[in-house]
Amino acid sequence: MAKIKPSKGAPYARILGVGGYRPVRVVPNEVILETIDSSDEWIRSRSGIETRHWASDEETVAAMSIEAAGKAIAEAGITAAQVGGVIVSTVSHFKQTPAVATEIADKLGTDKAAAFDISAGCAGFGYGLTLAKGMVVEGSAEYVLVIGVERLSDLTDLEDRATAFLFGDGAGAVVVGPAQEPAIGPTVWGSEGDKSETIKQTVPWTDYRDGEVAKFPAITQEGQAVFRWAVFEMAKVAKEALDAAGLTANDLDVFIPHQANERIIDSMVKTLKLPEHVTVARDVRTTGNTSAASIPLAMERLLATGEAKSGDTALLIGFGAGLVYAATVVTLP
């Protein structure tokens, strides 16, 4: 019986560089209040959101991704030609095929990198990071680009009082490459499809195409159900990720949860009993909920402002539509 030659990858993988892109247009709560009966105080108290960014026609999913990816590649100290894989997590690229990752890989100047999209909602960055780690360690690529990108303004119903104020646009990217010691911990991930109705697209694209509904599909959610699930169940998942990495909350320097809602973030901090020295990402205040882009965008901002530094130990957790989730501990680039 013939034996297959074993793969020869790196012993471990790590994040080598991070980059972000936020659209030029900044949208304050006052703009949202033009279409819903609410107040700035109510929006801030319910979500912590003060502003968000909305993309122009030129700031496409691909264009924002290329900007963020270019920064991540430069920070990693490699060239685009060295990138062997491009993974893009998004729910707001409106071409079913081809994958937008292929366009991004080409325009960045990669050397025919493997390229594909994934749809895992707000947990998408964690899913992509896990896949990238596997590719580097397995040896199918030396460097892998992971991009979370959304234009959620295209999927926002501005008359829906429960969601109109939540969503923003943007792209975050990281380069994952070889390491000589562990720097991306085991991923704790999963799904709870029995709760899929709590965050969903209002109607299938075909209903809009066939004229069964007049309004373009949007994202909707059952706010209280999502809040309870995120606070209680995701705190357990975060703890499992710490346990899997052989760490405790006291070992953390940084906590970067999905930027869904500041009330959820505050509740998770309390439930996890994070020490005061742990820096907590609160990018949601000025960026809003950018789904798959939220964790890398928050990471990029913390490093740029000096609130976090290279070598810090950070707990990442994403959670959202599906319902899906992914948590892991990483060493920051």
Cβ-based neighbours of 304, under 8 Å, separated by 6 or more: none
- Does the active-site annotation cover 53? no
Phi then psi for residue 314, to 5 deg, are: -125, 140
Tokens 């006291």 appear where?
Answer: 250
Gyration radius (Cα) of the chain, Å: 19
Q: Report residue 192 as tokens.
A: 């709870």
Strands 254-257 and 279-280: parallel
- Does the active-site annotation cover 258? yes
Q: Which of 53, 122, 250, 277 is catalytic?
A: 122
Strands (DSSP E) found in 2-133: 12-21, 25-28, 51-54, 83-89, 114-118
Calculate the CA 73 to chain-centre distance: 18
Q: Which of 93, 258, 261, 277 is catalytic?
A: 258
CA distance 17 to 72: 5
Q: Cβ(326)–Cβ(188) under 8 Å?
A: yes
Maximum CA extent, the chain: 71
Give the active site residues.
122, 258, 289
